[in-house]
């Protein structure tokens, strides 16, 4: 998130000396002691020290946070939490916000926006009898702290819808197929994008130059229509009369569609056909389906057929 423009910065520093650590180190995770209040940029602040860690996952550490204490205030500030070396008087930064962040007194506790800091300030095992935390605060004015944007949920993809409409309208088609006397028009780019076989036939070395209409004699028109429809929409749609009519005709259609999917390298469509055939096995079709699975290297379908036959023999 980009920070707002700022023109003036008020800086302040506060040292929080923690003495008698042995007296407070038994505090549970989440319990704290606080420094005295100090003012920077027209707001009141304090430092919170958690000798047992900010939360249970941080029990191995001590934690420290800068908190805004001006009631109902919302400030935009940078901060730098430092540990002061008592021997040299020098400090080293432990947690620093390089860009301004929001401190919101009214933020829900779980959001932690009213306080910012270091959950792992230092290991508890390394802490001596006392320590001094120095906090430097830069309050930025001239810009308004941003309100967190509302999360918007993207609508479902409608790409398949638009491509399906493109196929229905036949806009700017540039290839035609004569499938047993029935003509289908389509778009080379769409077919080639979805099928490596169509890519080779329409753009590669297999390209048949000068042919306005490609003849296909070994696929039924209804099967080719379902194949092309799947290429455009990624949805398997079978003719309504098959869904409502003879179950054997429906299974036969799926078997032919699996063969067409294998021919054109449509792996996802093959898997969908396999799944349908696995769920619809019966004694009259299992041998035919097994031969189909073996011919087209459908391992899962073959295993289901063999298991079905084995159970039938046992029965």
Give the integer Cα–Cα distance in Å for 19 and 24: 9
Asked if pLDDT for residue 145 goes beyond 60, the answer is no
40 - beta bridge partners? 43
pLDDT band at 206 (very low <50, low <70, confident <90, very high): low
Q: Is 172 helix (H, G, I), strand (E, B) or coil?
A: coil
Residue 123: which residues within 8 A CB-CB, separation 6 or more?
A: 60, 61, 62
Nearest residue to 54 (alpha-carbon basis) of 68, 66, 36, 72: 66
Contact 136, 41 (CB under 8 A): no
Nearest Cα neighbor of 260 from 291, 290, 230 is: 230
Joined tokens for residue 146: 């941003």
Per-residue model confidence (pLDDT) at position 282: 87
Joined tokens for residue 279: 């769920």
Q: Is 139 helix (H, G, I), strand (E, B) or coil?
A: strand
pLDDT at residue 259 greater than cutoff 90: yes
Would the CA dihedral through 114, 119, 122, 128 be positive or negative?
positive
- Nearest-angstrom CA–CA distance, 232 and 166: 9
Q: Percent of the chain beyond pLDDT 70?
A: 86
CATH node for 9-141: 2.60.210.10
What is the pLDDT confidence band of residue 194, given thresholds at 50, 70 and 90?
Answer: very high
Domain residue limits, the chain: 9-141, 159-314
pLDDT at 118: 87
Q: Of how many residues is the chain composed?
A: 315
- pLDDT beyond 60 at 142: no
282 DSSP β-pair partners:
none
Distance of alpha carbon 45 from alpha carbon 76, whole angstroms: 13
Count CA within 13 A, CB hemisphere, residue 184: 22
Overall pTM > 0.85 = no
Nearest Cα to Cα of residue 130 among 19, 33, 51: 19
Tokens 């935390």 sit on residue: 133
pLDDT of residue 211: 57
Per CATH, which fold does 159-314 belong to? Answer: Potassium Channel Kv1.1; Chain A (3.30.710)
Residue 273's pLDDT band, with cuts at 50, 70 and 90, is: very high
């Amino acid at each position: 998130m980009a920070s707002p423009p700022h023109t003036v910065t008020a800086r302040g520093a506060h040292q929080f000396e923690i003495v008698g650590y042995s007296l407070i180190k038994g505090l549970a995770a989440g319990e704290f002691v606080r420094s005295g209040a100090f003012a920077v940029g027209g707001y009141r602040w304090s430092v919170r020290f958690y000798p047992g860690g900010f939360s249970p996952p941080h029990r191995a550490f001590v934690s420290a946070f800068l908190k805004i204490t001006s009631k109902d205030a919302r400030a935009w500030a940078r901060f730098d939490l430092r540990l002061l070396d008592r021997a040299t008087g020098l400090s080293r930064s432990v947690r620093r916000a390089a860009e301004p962040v929001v401190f919101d007194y009214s933020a829900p506790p779980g959001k932690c926006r009213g306080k910012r800091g270091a959950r792992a300030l230092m290991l508890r095992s390394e802490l001596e009898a006392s320590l001094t935390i120095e906090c430097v605060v830069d309050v930025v004015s001239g810009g308004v702290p941003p309100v967190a944007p509302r999360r918007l949920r993207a609508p479902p993809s409608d790409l398949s819808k638009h491509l399906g409409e493109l196929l229905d309208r036949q806009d700017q088609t540039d290839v035609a197929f004569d499938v047993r006397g029935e003509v289908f028009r389509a778009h080379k780019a769409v077919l080639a994008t979805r099928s490596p076989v169509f890519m080779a036939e329409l753009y590669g070395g297999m390209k048949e130059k000068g042919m306005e209409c490609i003849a296909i004699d070994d696929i039924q028109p209804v099967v080719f229509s379902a194949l092309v429809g799947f290429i455009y929409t990624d949805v398997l749609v079978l003719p309504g009369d098959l869904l409502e009519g003879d179950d054997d005709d429906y299974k036969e259609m799926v078997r032919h569609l699996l063969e067409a999917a294998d021919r054109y390298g449509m792996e996802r469509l093959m898997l969908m056909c396999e799944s349908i055939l696995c769920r619809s096995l019966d004694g009259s079709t299992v041998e035919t389906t097994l031969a189909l699975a073996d011919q087209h290297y459908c391992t899962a379908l073959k295993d289901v057929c063999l298991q079905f036959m084995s159970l039938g023999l046992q029965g």
